[in-house]
Amino acid sequence: MTLTPPAFAMDLDWRCFHPQPAKPTFRLPAGAVDTHCHIFGPGAAFPYAPERKYTPCDAGRDKLYALRDYLGFERNVVVQATCHGADNRAMLDALVHSDGKARGVATVKPDVSADELAEMHAAGVRGVRFNYVRRLVDPQPDAYYLGIIEKIAALGWHVVIYFEAADLIEKWDFFTAIPTTVVVDHMGRPDVSKDAHGPELARFITFMERDNIWSKVTCPERLSASGPPGYDDVVPFARTIVERFPDRVLWGTDWPHPNMKSHIPDDGKLVDYIPRIAPTAELQRKLLVANPMRLYWPEEMV
């Protein structure tokens, strides 16, 4: 007997996604979109990037779409994960096998060609992600990202930025000069041990007062010190952002939850967290349906 070793061995301390998430008690509104999730490989078909900073457990599109149906979402936005670098093949493969139910956010380099961008657009990509989190990537100078913005703006794409709270001060001038719609991942990662009425969240609110800035109110599991199932310490931060900017917020599961060290989040419980940060049916409809549809499927808006 010969045993074929897996193409990539995941990191020894890697936590795979939850094997049996709970069925949510919160019923998602019809047409709900999970706007932040990833595909990992599988590595044998879509190799992880040589420059990656982690090697995950495989988490392919079939598993993502099964979770979508189980939780009650109708659509996904698949965000290119850093373990695939700027090789978007796994994400694009997920989009073209989604029956039109998935859009994507890619990672590209400034030398990306117009033909490559057009192909990605046809597959469903509507944005690019600039990642400033040093444990995930080596951030590049502004000129690098400006070269990308010049190319993608003509397609009507937006920019997703992922940064740590302290980076907002340093990158303020650059971030506020981006001419496209800008979507901030996970509320700019606030330190939720601080006061939700303190200067850090106030700074983020000032940032969001620009009409082109949106925020994903995602990832309580990453930000929380109090932990599951309620992620109570994150609630006042996310609820403030949702109530203040109801037309520019998005929600997503973050499946398969890369780099979670404290615990494996239960995706069903994460869905049950939504009404705590968006307490009315109207806020829920905007967060889960109207806003993501406007950004990712505007052609379907009546």
Q: Which of 8, 34, 46, 82 binds ligand 0GY (CB under 6 A)?
A: 82
Q: Which of 34, 167, 185, 200 binds ligand 0GY (CB under 6 A)?
A: 185
Tell me which stretch binds ligand 0GY (CB under 6 A): 79-87, 173-181, 239-247, 280-288: 79-87
For residue 187, give both structure tokens: 């509320």
Q: Which is nearer to ligand 0GY, 38 or 248 (CB)?
A: 38
The pattern of x and - marking residues 27 through 46 that bind ligand 0GY according to CB under 6 A reads: -----------x--------
Q: Is 81 in the site for ligand 0GY (CB under 6 A)?
A: yes
Q: Is 221 in the site for ligand 0GY (CB under 6 A)?
A: no
For residue 95, give both structure tokens: 């989009």
DSSP assignment of 257-273, as one string? -TT--S----HHHHHHH
E-strand stretches of the chain: 33-37, 75-79, 102-106, 125-131, 158-162, 182-184, 213-216, 249-250
How far is Cα 124 from Cα 78, in angstroms, rounded to an integer? 10
Q: Is 58 in the site for ligand 0GY (CB under 6 A)?
A: no
Angle at 292 between CA 290 and CA 296, to 5 degrees: 120
Q: Is 117 in the site for ligand 0GY (CB under 6 A)?
A: no
Helices (H), 157-280: 167-177, 199-208, 220-223, 235-244, 267-277
Residues in contact with ligand 0GY, total (CB under 6 A)?
Answer: 11
Q: Which is nearer to ligand 0GY, 82 or 291 (CB)?
A: 82
Q: How far is CA 174 from the centre of its chain?
A: 21
**First-to-last C-alpha distance (Å) of the chain:** 59
Q: Which of 58, 167, 200, 254 binds ligand 0GY (CB under 6 A)?
A: 254
Q: Is 55 in the site for ligand 0GY (CB under 6 A)?
A: no
Please report where in the chains the tokens 């496209």 appear, as a residue.
180
Q: Is 98 in the site for ligand 0GY (CB under 6 A)?
A: no
190 and 201 Cβ atoms separated by less than 8 Å: yes
Distances 238 to 189, 250, 267 between C-alpha atoms, Å: 11, 11, 18
Q: Which is nearer to ligand 0GY, 151 or 222 (CB)?
A: 222
Catalytic residue annotation:
254
Q: Which of 136, 155, 165, 205 binds ligand 0GY (CB under 6 A)?
A: 136
Q: How far is the CB of 261 from ligand 0GY (least distance, A)?
A: 10
Q: Which residues bind ligand 0GY (CB under 6 A)?
A: 38, 81-83, 133, 136, 185, 222, 254, 258-259
